Amino acid sequence: MPSTPAAAAANLREGLAIEIKGLSVAYGNQRAVDSIDLEVFCGEVVGFLGPNGAGKTTTMRALLDLLRPDAGTLRVFGEDPRKAGGALRARLGFLPGDLALFPGLSGRQNLDLFANLYGGRSQARDAVLERLGFRRDALDWKLRKYSTGMRQMIGIAVAFQHEPDLLVLDEPTTGLDPLVREAFLQLIRDRASAGRTVLFSSHVLAEVEDCADRVALIDRGRLLAVEDMETFRRRLPRKVILRRANGEVEVIPFQGSPRDLVQALENCGLDDAVDVEVRPAVLNEVFRAIIREGQEDSP
Amino acid sequence: MSMTLFKFLCRRHWLSILLAYLIPVLIGVVIGLLYPTYAAQRKLLEVFKFSTSYFGQEQVDLFSAAGSFTLPFQHPLCLIGHAIVGGIAALGLPAAERGRGALDLLLASPLGRRQLVATLGLFSFLSALALGAIGFGSAFLGAFLSDEVAALPIARYALCALTSIGLCFVLGGLALLVSVWARDRGQATITYGVVVGAFFIVDVAARMWTKGSWLAWYTPFGYHRPAKIVGQPEGIQCGLQAAATTLLLGLALQTLAMFWASRRKSA
């Protein structure tokens, strides 16, 4: 057994946490996921980015054996999730996109139910709720009295409370206010630094940029790209808004490193500039750019 | 089996199941209180011939103590109670939670698909067992209230309880099978209601229409015949066969539900 937290984290970082090869899932005639290959290494945070209906949820459900694929193979920590059984699932934490807990139970009872299903309570639950700023007295309210954000916080605590080695989170920030969202993203970063693996889906680019090591882009069931964050950032089509003293506003499309940005601004001339604003990339523009690049690359 | 899920099911359904358990108790108490005046009402009741043939007047004298206390087992309200006790937990999980979305969260935990169905099967069996015991207790409670305990044949009444358990277990298996198949609570409840309703109508026809008594073999209700068990010499053998048949059928349905759940594409 590893003697220190650092050694334990190093142990967890060895090997592949997720290995997906040729995954295809269809709902009737509709292909939801089409021949996806994806590898997630232990200790990594991977953002699964795509618009609604891209196939993120389908892929995640298949990983947890909630959905059986039509083709392809899946391995989680080297095991087939369909055959591995409860021992493997005990190492996973899951937050579904359309979270439904039990409204007739209190927040605490919901948490206890899932803690017991995973084999008992741990200290992590209180710490997670505290970091998210969840009101302690609200734990004993019936869940039906909760706001959307409070329900989501309980869902997050359900996923985190048994300290899983792999977290699969489907649009986890839905309904969270900006402060809680920031606390949650920090929680993910901390999990990763403790050697845990996180795969989370989102259609909010900034969230993925904030805490992912790599990003997997999916659209219409096809995986468009899997890249580390640095490479990905360089590809982001951003807009620079340059306001000049005479009231003129110039929009400069920009893609590349910060050095490239400085160069682009210098080329435009900054002498009479009164304001420079870099607009964040918008997801659908990212997808358009990547699809365009793919078309240009293909013969 | 999952003890956590079992406790959750108990907590979730205790009130509905308790209300269903009260039906035979109330019928037992009412008959116990009315029984001393039964003889005087005999002529009046014979006017409603259909009800006496429904309850099996040809098999057992319904105006005797042994005959009248079969009602906590076979009154139509009790049969509806069997359908409720058998079906309530199974319709709530997996079908209702599949529709709501909580099933994914449950099945992502170490609780697997088979374990979930097996736990529901156990819950259904224990609920059925309690219903049989309550029916038995209700008959004796009624007999006690009218001071007729000595007139009840204990072994035959115990056999009535056993066929009652079998019936409830079959209905539980049926509900589980429907629930594994259905996409949500609405679809599961309607399907279960229609199937159980059809079985019930067939059973009523088999009871009332002498030439159509063979229909009873095609409905699980037909294997629960307290009047025959109590009133006929071959009642014990028939009751044992019926109980064995329904318990095995219930087990087969539960197994089929488990197999189906593990084969489903989407949990």
DSSP states of B64-116 as a string? SHHHHTTHHHHSHHHHHHHHHHHHHHHIIIIIIHHHHTHHHHHHTSS--HHHH
Residue A197 β-bridge partners: A166
The whole-angstrom distance between A65's CA and the closest CA on chain B is 8
Q: Which two tokens stand for residue A173?
A: 């920030």
Q: Angle at the Cα of A181 (from A176 to A184), degrees rounded to 5?
A: 115
Q: How far is B252 from B19, CA to CA, in rounded Å?
A: 28
Q: Look up the pTM and report it.
A: 0.86
Reported confidence tier of residue A1, pLDDT bands at 50, 70, 90: very low
CB neighbour class for A157 (10 Å; exposed up to 12, middle 13-18, buried from 19): buried
The residue among A35, A86, A26, A18 whose CA lies nearest residue A58 is A26
Name the more confident of A257 and B94: B94
User: What pLDDT sits at residue A61?
Assistant: 95
Residue B173 confidence (pLDDT): 97
Residue B47's pLDDT is 58
Residue A4, pLDDT above cutoff 70: no
pLDDT digits 0-9 by tens, A212-233: 999 999 988 999 889 888 888 8
- Picking from B183, B165, B8, the residue whose alpha carbon sits closest to that of residue B89 is B8
Rounded to the nearest integer, the mean pLDDT of chain A is: 87
**What count of other Cβ atoms lies within 10 Å of the Cβ of residue A292?**
11
Q: CA-nearest residue of chain A to B267?
A: A66
Collect the ranges in chain B with pLDDT lower than 50: none
> Structure tokens of A247?
């009231």
User: What's the pLDDT score for residue B90?
Assistant: 93
Confidence of residue A204 (pLDDT cuts 50, 70, 90): confident
A87 touches chain B (CB under 8 A): yes
The pLDDT of residue A240: 86
Among the residues of chain B, which ranges form H helices? Answer: 3-34, 38-47, 49-55, 65-68, 71-74, 76-90, 97-100, 102-107, 113-145, 154-181, 185-208, 226-231, 235-263
Whether the Cβ atoms of residue B102 and residue A102 lie closer than 8 Å to each other: yes
Question: Is any Cβ of chain B less than 8 angstroms from the Cβ of A90?
Answer: yes
Average pLDDT over residues A31-36: 92
- What pairs with residue A226 in β-bridges? A216
Compute the average pLDDT of residues A103-129: 90
Question: Treating both helix axes as pointing N-terminal to C-terminal, what angle do A178-193 and A148-160 enclose, rounded to 10 degrees?
Answer: 10
Residues of B104-116 as b/e, b for ≥16 C-beta within 10 angstroms? Answer: bbbbbbbbbbebb
**In B, which residues are within 8 Å of A170 by CB distance?**
none
Return the pLDDT at B194.
Answer: 97
Q: Name, in order, each residue with C-beta under 8 angstroms of A210's C-beta and a sequence gap of 6 or more.
A: A185
Counting one residue from A and one from B, how many pairs have CB atoms under 8 Å apart?
69
Strand partners, A250: A242
Average pLDDT over residues A27-52: 91
Single-letter residue type at B217 = W
Contacts of B264 in chain A (CB under 8 A): 68
Around Cβ B35, how many Cβ atoms within 10 Å? 20
Non-local CB neighbours of A192 within 8 Å, separated by 6+ positions: A43, A44, A45, A198, A211, A213
Contacting residues of B for A104, CB less than 8 Å apart:
12
Sort out which chain A residues have CB atoms less than 8 A from B105's CB and list them: 94, 96, 99-101, 114, 158
Cα(A154)–Cα(A135) distance, integer angstroms? 11
Q: Is the CB of residue A96 less than 8 Å away from at least one CB of chain B?
A: yes
**In this complex, is the C-beta atom of A71 within 8 Å of any C-beta atom belonging to chain B?**
no
Cβ-nearest to A89 among B5, B100, B110: B110
Nearest chain A alpha carbon to B262: A82
Interchain CB contact of B4 with A (< 8 Å): yes
Contact by Cβ (8 Å): A164, A196: yes
Select from B184, B171, B169, B176 the least CA-distant residue to B259: B176
> Per residue in A202-214, is it b (16+ CB within 10 Å) or e — as a string?
bbebebbbbbbbb
Do the chains contact at B105 and A94, CB–CB below 8 Å? yes
Partner B contacted by A158 (CB < 8 A): yes
CA pair distance A124, B170, nearest whole angstrom = 44
> Average of pLDDT values for A159-181?
93
Q: Which of B107, B111, B265 lies at the smallest CB-CB distance from A68? A: B265
Q: How many CB atoms lie within 10 A of CB B67?
A: 22
Residue with the larger pLDDT of the pair A8 and A96: A96
Question: How far is CA B252 from each of CA B205, B245, B258, rounded to the nearest angstrom?
Answer: 26, 10, 10
Say how many C-beta atoms besides its own lie within 10 A of residue B97's C-beta. Answer: 22
Instruction: Give yes or no for residue A121 having a pLDDT over 80.
Output: no
Tell me how far apart the alpha carbons of residues B155 and B41 are, in angstroms, rounded to a whole number: 29
pLDDT at B49: 65
Between B57 and A21, whose confidence is greater? Answer: A21
Whether A180 shows a pLDDT value over 80: the answer reads yes
C-alpha span between B70 and B67 (Å, rounded): 6
Residue A272: its pLDDT value, please? 85
Q: Are B202 and B219 in contact (CB under 8 A)?
A: yes
